[in-house]
Structures are given as C-alpha cells and as structure tokens.
C-alpha cells in the first residue's frame, strides 16, 4: 500500500498504479468529479501540474485543483485547442498542425492548410467541436520514444521540428478520440469538461514567430467551465470596446486621422488642450528635477545618421529628403541632435550630470499593418531627455528617473504597469563588454529600486539596453511607454568628451529616457483608462452651463463670464432646447460638471451642480463652487469631490 497525502483533505492509502482520479473517486466521488488537475510535489520539493489520470506508484503529496483555480482554466483552454484541432482535422484532413497553447483569456492553434479560412468557416468547426465535446472523449497521455513519435508525425514538419527540439529521450502524446497530438500536457480528464467555448477570430501567424518562415493560419478561441462565464467574458470585451480611444477621440473631437496622411494624427482644439496640460505639467516636473529644455531640428544631414549608426541599423524606419542636391533624413530619434548641442562647447566634470530634455517630434516609417490609432503612429512627440553623466552618477540618475516615472504615472492615474529589462539585440553597435556592463548596471538599478521586472531578451535599442515600462489599454494589450536606455556606444561614435578633475579628456556615459513615451501614445492610453471621462484638471471642457430656458440667459452669461475669468474651460448651451437634451449632450461629451440654472438659482443667486459621475450639489454660491474647483484642480484629483 502507498500513501497519498492530499493537501487540506488528509491521507489515503491505496494500491500502487492507480490513477489520482481512481484513488479520489474511491474516497469521494463528488470531489473527483469536480477536480480538474493535480499539483504534485516532486522529490526535490518542486511542484508540477499533472493530469488526474496520473498513475501513483509511490507515496505522494499533492493538491487537487478545481475550476476556480487559475491553472484549471488555462488547462481547459489548452485542451479546447486540442479539441479544435481535432475538429479541423475532421473537416480538413490535410491540415498540418504546429502549436496550440492556451493564452490569457483563451487559446489558439496554428496550422498549415492550403485553403483560405475566413470567419464563416468557424461555425462548422465549432459544430464539429460540440460533437467531440459531447462524445466525452478522454485525454489519454502516452509517453513514447522520440523515434516512435517521429513515425507518428512523419508527415508533419512542424511536429518533427518540435520533437527534435526536445531534450529528452521520451516525449508525451495525447489522444482524444482519434486525434493524436504531441503535447507535454497536462489536460482535462475528458472533453465533457468544456462547458462553453467560442471561436473568436482567424489570423495569420509566422511559424515560430519568425517572418522569414511560412505564415500559418491561426484560429483564436476561448473556453470556460460554464456558459455564464463565457457570456460575461464576451460582454466584458464589448464593454471594453466603448473605451477605445479611436472612437472616443473622434466623438469628442480630440483628433482625427485622414487617408491623406495615414498614421499621422491631426490634433483638434480639444485634443490640443489635453496635450498642453500634460506638457505644462511635464515642464514643471522637469524643472524641479534639474532638466534644461532644448529643441533640435527635424531634418538633419545623412552624414549625421551615418555617424550615429542609424543608417546601418535603422534606415528601414526612416524618411529621407533631398535639399539643394544634398541628402538629409527626417529624424526618427532625438539623440544625435542632443549630442550636437552637447558638442557645441567644451564640458567639465563639474557640470555633470547634464540633463537635456526635449519634446522631440520624430517620424518613423512604421509598416502599414502596425498602425493603431494614437498607439502606433508615424509621427509623434517623444518627451525625451539625454543625460550626460559620470559612471558613478548613473545609479542615482536612473533611480531619479524611476521616481519621476512613478510620480507622473500616479498623477495620471496609472497604477497597473509592469517593467521589463530589454537586453542586447542581434543587430547592434558597441562591444560585448560594453553591453555586459550596461545590462548589469540597469539590472542593479532595477533591483535597488525594488521593481518587479521580467527580462525581454534581444529587445534593446541598437545602441544600448533599456528598462521599459508598459501600460495596459482597455483590452489589456500592453504598450511600452517609459523607457530608460543606457548608452556607452553613441558617446564613442560621436567622440564626445569632458574635462576631468585630472585635466584629461574623458568619455561621458549617456542615458536616453522618456517618461510618457510619446505624448500621442500616452494620451491614447490615458483616454482608454478613463474611458474618456478625464479628471477635471485634464478635461478639455470642464464645465457646461445649462440654462433651463432663455429667461435665465443673462444670469447664466454672468456665471459663464465669471468662471471663464477664473480660467476654467467652460461652455454654455444657450440653445432653446429641453434641459433633458442639454444634459444628455453634456453627458455624451463626457463633461465632468454641469451647471444648471433656472428660476430657483436665479432668485437665490446660486447655481446647481450636476456631476457627470453622479450626484447633485444644489444651490451653492459661485464663490464656493470656485473654491471646490480650485481645490480639485490644484490637487489634480482623479475624481471630483
């Protein structure tokens, strides 16, 4: 007899070779029915997820996982991807399957097929999947040798390549009905565990994520243990779409895009108000932190871009122009300009660190398929800075930047962002020693500041590694905003120096950094995070004055003038329309505050405030209202109080 210790539910003695499911079933049928997976403890103390069909041959400690555990939903999605593959195989026997993992909120499977798959082909696949699910097939795991596996998958180049990549003599396969897949698992015990699923979209995806490889067909789907969860998920996605900055930007007249300039945003008056508020605050915080603002040209000679390395490593993304027969480029980055400013005079170690800030308008030729509202455009303003420093000043400088990022993000209401350390890319300048040093320095700074981070290998800039800060949009896609880049290479390329204490020339180190990232992307993500309901201090229109009829026009005009004089962004709706209509339109325009003026207000010399977020303040004095406004705006409050 062997002993199975189940976390939180005691011990069971059992015969050797029984599956976890059988053992639990003997003890408690209900629990066995509900369980999805088991997390077993290996001899070395580490944990591993296994199927419920896992055979127990020894004493074992484990924990059962149920539908409410996150790992269970992952597994369900992964298993559903197998079910989808099985269905596709039924309809298109010639399909060759590549990989089919679970992802956040769903799963996909990539496969090669010499046919066009469009959304209308999804329905038949779903129908076939339903048949498989109701057939209640078991997921049967088998461990076989690589050679055996190669025989099974002899017609599938993708699986063969995967098998070759496995560092083990044995591989595992799973059988579901007559469908066999190479897979490490784990899986649900039977197809009937899939309570609800939906195929969502079809797209192309390169094999192994490499654009030089063949493009496969990818079908995305999502699965849940019950129908209610699927319904909630689909509703959540629909709701998130209402926060789309592309829609809100158009509705609120913030900016527009036109066929005449794809990827180049047009800023409208109300959008400019948001931009300028952000920039005003940005200037203030940079002055406080010892930055000096500069501005460098948009067009610079090709010669410069040869020197900087952009010609060799960034040309594909650049635009070029000819002036008087000479070749120039439109800047894709601000660094070379800042370096020319630095080089315009001699520098002493006593000046360091020198912090040049620049709101630099850059142009990049982004591939047409990647353009995405304000998140991905072809011209944008980086809130850039280039810091020239001594080696020993780097850690303090990086820490100071990290603090500025934290402060600005919290002021703008971003709490949920994550950090990545992007290391050396294949296409780069500078020696390996430089990269070792730079990467190490950044990692030290991250650790010193106790940031939680992950490594993003190969994603650094061509001149140096970087710490990236990512923020989520309404659909929880993440976008890189802030970045801190450490650069030993450019100072060398441009041969920049300073005079040291020893009266000798030395080479400074350079930090490139942005906080907002680009003003455009930042505004896009700001809008999505607030669903367009911007805090009072940022809202392009702060107050809408709504006279109930034109009998109160004069009094309303006085209130309007008063607020305007105080510097508030206020509009008055003088149309002869119902109050209901005026309120509705102010609501749709996402104006945070409405001032309602009728007979009562006029008589008592007061106003009534209707907050967009809900709730009224009845009959208050204008003076008092202004005090409240001032209080909210000066403190940059997220919600009006």
Helix ranges, 153-217 (H): 157-164
Q: Quick one: 82 or 513, whose CB is closer to RNA?
A: 513
Residue 372 binds RNA (CB under 7 A): yes
Least distance from RNA to the Cβ atom of residue 333, Å: 8
Among 282, 479, 568, 640, binds RNA (CB under 7 A): 479
Q: Which of residues 229-258 bind RNA (CB under 7 A)?
A: 246-247, 250, 257
Among 377, 539, 541, 570, binds RNA (CB under 7 A): 377
Q: Which of residues 534-573 bind RNA (CB under 7 A)?
A: 548-551
Dihedral angle sign, alpha carbons of residues 241, 245, 246, 252: positive
Q: Quick one: 30 or 210, whose CB is closer to RNA?
A: 210
Tokens read off for 376: 């991905």
Q: Which of residues 318-357 bind RNA (CB under 7 A)?
A: none
Measured CA to CA, the distance from residue 232 to residue 1 in angstroms comes to: 46
Residue 371 binds RNA (CB under 7 A): yes
Residue 439 binds RNA (CB under 7 A): no
Q: Let me know: does 602 contact 576? Beta carbons within 8 Å.
A: no
Among 177, 221, 263, 464, binds RNA (CB under 7 A): 263
Among 376, 386, 424, 428, binds RNA (CB under 7 A): 376
Q: Quick one: 89 or 590, whose CB is closer to RNA?
A: 590
Q: Quick one: 258 or 415, whose CB is closer to RNA?
A: 258
Q: Let me know: does 397 contact 448? Beta carbons within 8 Å.
A: no
Least distance from RNA to the Cβ atom of residue 27, Å: 43
Q: Which of residues 495-514 bind RNA (CB under 7 A)?
A: 514
Up-side HSE of residue 209: CA atoms within 13 Å toward CB?
0
Residue 46 binds RNA (CB under 7 A): no
Residue 158 binds RNA (CB under 7 A): no
Q: Quick one: 50 or 117, whose CB is closer to RNA?
A: 117
Instruction: Kindly determine how many residues on this chain lie close enough to bind RNA according to the rule CB under 7 A.
Output: 78
Q: Which of residues 119-138 bind RNA (CB under 7 A)?
A: 119
Tokens read off for 420: 């990545």
The full 3-state SS of 303-357, as one line of letters, equals HHHHHHCHHHHCHHHCEEEEECCEEEEECCCCHHHHHHHHHCCCCEHHHCCEEEE
Tokens read off for 497: 């120096």
Residue 373 binds RNA (CB under 7 A): yes
Closest CA to 286 of 428, 181, 383: 383
Tokens read off for 404: 């500025």
Q: Is 586 helix (H, G, I), strand (E, B) or coil?
A: helix
* CA 16 to mean position of chain CA atoms: 48
Residue 269 binds RNA (CB under 7 A): no
Among 3, 227, 239, 367, binds RNA (CB under 7 A): 367
Measured in degrees and rounded to the nearest 5, phi and psi for residue 425 equal -85, 170
Measured CA to CA, the distance from residue 109 to residue 201 in angstroms comes to: 11
Q: Which of residues 200-219 bind RNA (CB under 7 A)?
A: 201-206, 209-211, 215, 217-218
Least distance from RNA to the Cβ atom of residue 190, Å: 30
- Give the count of beta carbons closer than 10 Å to the beta carbon of residue 541: 19
CA dihedral 477, 418, 225, 183 (to 10 degrees): 90
Least distance from RNA to the Cβ atom of residue 206, Å: 4
Burial of 10 (0-12, 13-18, 19+ CB in 10 A): exposed
Residue 618 binds RNA (CB under 7 A): yes
**Residues annotated as part of the active site:** 335, 364, 382, 384, 386, 466, 512
Among 74, 397, 468, 487, binds RNA (CB under 7 A): 468
Up-side HSE of residue 310: CA atoms within 13 Å toward CB?
23
Laid out side by side, the sheet with 60-65 consists of 10-14, 2-6, 60-65, 37-41, 47-50
Least distance from RNA to the Cβ atom of residue 511, Å: 14
Residue 601 binds RNA (CB under 7 A): yes
Among 75, 480, 542, 632, binds RNA (CB under 7 A): 480
Residue 608 binds RNA (CB under 7 A): yes
Measured CA to CA, the distance from residue 216 to residue 203 in angstroms comes to: 9
Among 380, 488, 530, 560, binds RNA (CB under 7 A): 380
Q: Quick one: 185 or 547, whose CB is closer to RNA?
A: 547
């Amino acid at each position: 007899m062997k002993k199975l210790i189940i976390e939180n539910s005691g011990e069971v003695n059992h015969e050797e070779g029984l599956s976890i499911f059988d053992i639990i079933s003997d003890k408690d049928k209900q629990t066995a029915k509900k369980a999805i997976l088991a997390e077993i403890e290996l001899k070395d103390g580490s944990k591993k997820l296994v199927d419920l069909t896992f055979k127990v041959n020894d004493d074992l400690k484990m924990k059962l996982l149920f539908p409410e555990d996150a790992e269970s939903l992952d597994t369900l999605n992964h298993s559903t991807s197998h079910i989808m593959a099985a269905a596709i195989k039924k309809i298109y026997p010639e399909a060759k399957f590549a990989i089919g993992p679970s992802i956040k909120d769903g799963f996909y499977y990539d496969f090669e097929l010499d046919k066009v798959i469009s959304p209308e082909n999804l329905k038949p696949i779903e129908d076939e999947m339903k048949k498989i699910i109701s057939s209640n097939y078991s997921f049967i795991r088998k461990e076989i040798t690589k050679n055996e596996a190669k025989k099974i998958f002899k017609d599938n180049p993708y699986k063969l390549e995967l098998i070759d990549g496995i560092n083990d003599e044995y591989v595992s396969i799973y059988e579901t009905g007559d469908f066999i897949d190479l897979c490490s698992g784990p899986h649900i015990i039977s197809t009937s565990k899939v309570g609800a699923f939906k195929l969502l979209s079809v797209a192309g995806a390169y094999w192994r994520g490499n654009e030089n490889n063949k493009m496969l067909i990818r079908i995305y789907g999502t699965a849940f243990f019950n129908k209610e969860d699927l319904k909630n998920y689909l509703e959540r996605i629909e709701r998130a779409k209402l926060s789309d900055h592309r829609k809100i930007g158009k509705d609120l007249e913030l900016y527009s895009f036109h066929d005449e300039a794809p990827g180049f945003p047009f800023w409208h008056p109300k959008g400019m108000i948001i931009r300028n508020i952000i920039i005003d605050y940005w200037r203030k915080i940079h002055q406080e932190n010892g930055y000096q603002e500069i501005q460098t040209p948009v067009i610079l000679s090709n010669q410069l871009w040869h020197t900087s390395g952009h010609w060799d490593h960034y040309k594909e993304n650049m635009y070029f122009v000819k002036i008087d027969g000479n070749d120039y480029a439109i800047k894709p980055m601000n660094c070379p300009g800042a370096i020319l400013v630095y080089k315009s005079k001699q520098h002493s170690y006593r000046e360091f660190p020198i912090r040049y800030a620049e709101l630099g308008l850059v142009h990049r030729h982004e591939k047409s398929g990647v353009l995405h509202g304000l998140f991905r455009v072809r011209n944008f303003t980086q809130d850039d800075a280039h810091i020239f420093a001594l080696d020993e000043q780097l850690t303090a400088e990086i820490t100071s930047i990290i603090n500025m990022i934290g402060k600005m993000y919290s002021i703008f209401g971003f709490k949920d962002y994550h950090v990545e350390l992007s290391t050396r890319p294949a296409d780069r300048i500078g020696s390996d020693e430089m990269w070792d040093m730079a990467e190490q320095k950044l990692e030290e700074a991250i650790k010193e500041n106790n940031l939680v981070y992950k490594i993003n290998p190969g994603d650094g800039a061509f001149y140096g590694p970087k710490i990236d800060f990512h923020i989520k949009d309404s659909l929880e896609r993440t976008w890189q905003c802030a970045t801190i880049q450490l650069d030993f290479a450019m100072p060398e390329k441009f041969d920049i120096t300073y005079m040291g204490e020893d009266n000798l020339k030395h080479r400074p180190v350079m930090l490139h950094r942005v906080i907002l990232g680009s003003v455009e992307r930042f505004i896009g993500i700001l809008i999505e995070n607030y669903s367009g309901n911007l805090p009072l201090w940022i809202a392009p229109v702060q107050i809408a004055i709504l006279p109930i009829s034109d009998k109160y026009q004069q009094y309303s005009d006085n209130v309007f003038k008063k607020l305007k004089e105080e510097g508030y962004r206020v509009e008055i709706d003088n149309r002869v329309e119902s109050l209901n209509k005026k309120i509705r339109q102010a609501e749709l325009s996402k104006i945070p505050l409405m001032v309602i003026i009728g007979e009562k207000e006029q008589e008592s010399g007061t106003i009534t405030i209707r907050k967009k977020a809900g709730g009224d303040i009845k009959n208050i004095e204008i003076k008092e209202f202004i005090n409240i406004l001032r209080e909210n705006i000066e403190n940059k409050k997220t919600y009006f109080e």
